[in-house]
Structure 1
Amino acid sequence: MYFILLFVFSCLSPCHCLVEKDENQDHCDVLKQWLQSSSVSVELSKKGFHREVITTVELKSDVLSDVRVLLVHRWPRGVYVDPYQLASLSDQRDWKILLDSTIDLELPAHKASGFVTYVYPSHIGPTPRSLKVTIPVHGRYHEPSFVGETFTSVDIEAPELLLWTVQCTQLNTLQPHAVVDAPCTVSNSSTCQWVKIQHQQEFSPLRFQFPVGDASLVAPVCGGTLLVTMMCCAALSRYMWKHRII
């Protein structure tokens, strides 16, 4: 009797593993379709030092409902995002953001460093077909120019689009799309392996133009300021002496 049961279990076990393997492959095939059909577009709005970077993600959401989406922005040191502003807008947006480092709002561009943001859509239920993320971005003050330039440029690269689903574990079958490590959720409590979409064409970076000072005017401006200050002090001293104001 025991021999018969052992024989039955030994026969059923490979079948169960085969079914799991087929289901996993099916989910990986569907995820690969997502990777091939999804697209990202980026645009810039507003002017001056305070801009908005608008990212639109188009997904084939009618195939798989439990896929997770992550946008990774790699920002240069010439701009920053305000964590306090993002926190105040948390009730007005359907996504959450994770910063990889502390942002110093007062540093000039030449003393700051680049940073990374992870944007997670906070929708409930199936993944929507279209996602739009608007991030307010601010320009830092730049060093004055010694060659007479009045503006400086800061290039913003398009974000990376990462996808992940727990049912697909054979990520090596999704080439040429690369597998990268990133936080699983905005809480940053664990790291998952995400699949990065390999775009068919290169995106031109968004270019910010910020005004800069003219370093050649430092000497005359400082000299003029000092002269005006001395003249005002002399006039004020004369007035106080004439009217005997102590």
Structure 2
Amino acid sequence: MYFTLFYPSVLTILLTCHYLTVKGENSCATLKQWLQSTAISLEIKNKGFHREVETTVELQPGAFRDVRVLLLHTWPSGVYVDPYQLAFLSDTVDWQILVDSAIDLEVPAHKTSGFVAYVYPAFSEQTPGMLKVRIPIHGRYHQPSFGGETFESIAIKPPKLLLRTEECSQLDDLEPHMVREAPCNADNTSMCLWIQVQYERPGDETLRLPVGDGSLVTPVCAVTLAVTMICCLTLSKYIWKHRIV
């Protein structure tokens, strides 16, 4: 009686383990194919100090069903993202963002440092296998130039692409791709293992922002001081003439 009950249970467990093992191996094999067919591009839109960085990710069609995607942006000190704007846009976009540090909107470029942003996009049923993320960025003010330069060039690097799937656990067999830890989602409540995809990265995009002419600091200050003194004298004379108390 005991053997009769025990044998089917053992057989069920073994079949389940075999099924999960085969399923996991198939998922890892499928993930390898997805990694080989991944492409990414970067484009800067708009002009002036307020731009949009559009990132396009292409995966093999059908790969999006069991895969999470993470874009790891490393931004230079010359630009920033506005957390208030991002919060306002959160209900109208199909991606979430997590910034690794507080953003000061008023600090000039030479008094701040760069930051890292984790972007979690979602696939659309209209464009399976393709992701498009447009992140609004803003240029910071730079120190005036004393060498005659009227623009400051800022290099915007393409993001690192990270993938994660629950069904493939043999992540060490996915070389040359690298395993690294990153937040599981934009809530930043836990860390997960992600595959950092080694792909042929496109070149950096260059953002050009106007800067002040440092050689004009002295004459601008002198004119400003002169205008201020003339206005004060004129106003004082008017007050004295009309006995305004």
Fold conserved between structures, TM > 0.5: yes
1:236 shift after superposition: 2.8
Gaps in structure 2 of 5+ consecutive residues: none
Q: Cα distance, 1:176 vs. partner?
A: 0.3
Q: For residues 161-205 of structure 1, what are the alpha-carbon distances to aligned partners after superposition, in whole Å with 9 as ceiling and x for unaligned?
A: 111101111101100011111111111111111111111x34211
Where does residue 94 of structure 1 map in the other structure? 94
1:204-243 superposed matches below 5 A: 204-243=203-242
Q: TM-score, normalised by structure 1?
A: 0.89
CA contact (8 A) 1:30 1:64 kept: no
Q: What letter corresponds to residue 102 of structure 1 in structure 2?
A: A
Change (3 A) 1:129 1:189: same
CA offsets 1:196-241 (integer angstroms, 9 cap, x no match): 1111x34211111111111121111111111222222223333333
Partners of 1:95 and 1:123 within 8 A in 2? no
- Contact kept? 1:153, 1:209, Cα under 8 Å: yes
Do the aligned residues in 2 keep the contact of 1:39 with 1:59 (CA within 8 Å)?
A: yes
> Which residue in 1 is equivalent to 2:162?
162
TM-score by length of 2: 0.90
Q: 1:63 to 1:113 in 2, by over 3 A?
A: closer
The Cα offsets for residues 27-61 of structure 1, whole Å up to 9 and x where unpaired, read as 11101111111111111110000000011111113
CA distance in 2, matches of 1:110, 1:243: 49
1:3–1:218 CA distance, 2 compared to 1 (3 A): same
Contact 2:158 2:201 in 1 (8 A): no
Q: 2: CA distance between counterparts of 1:73 and 1:173?
A: 26
Q: What is the Cα-based RMSD across aligned positions, in Å? A: 2.4
Identity %: 56
- Partner SS state of residue 144, structure 2: coil
Q: Identify the residue that residue 189 of structure 2 maps to in structure 1.
A: 189
Partner of 1:34, secondary structure, is: helix
Question: Distance in 2 between the 1:94 and 1:45 partners?
Answer: 19
Farther-moved stretch of structure 1 (160-169 vs 89-98): 89-98
Q: Which residue of 2 aligns with 1:69?
A: 69
How much has 1:153 moved relative to structure 2? 0.8
The 3-state SS of whatever aligns with 1:92 is: coil
Do the aligned partners of 1:42 and 1:55 also contact (CA within 8 Å) in 2?
Answer: yes
User: Tell me, which stretches of 5 or more residues in structure 1 are unaligned?
Assistant: none
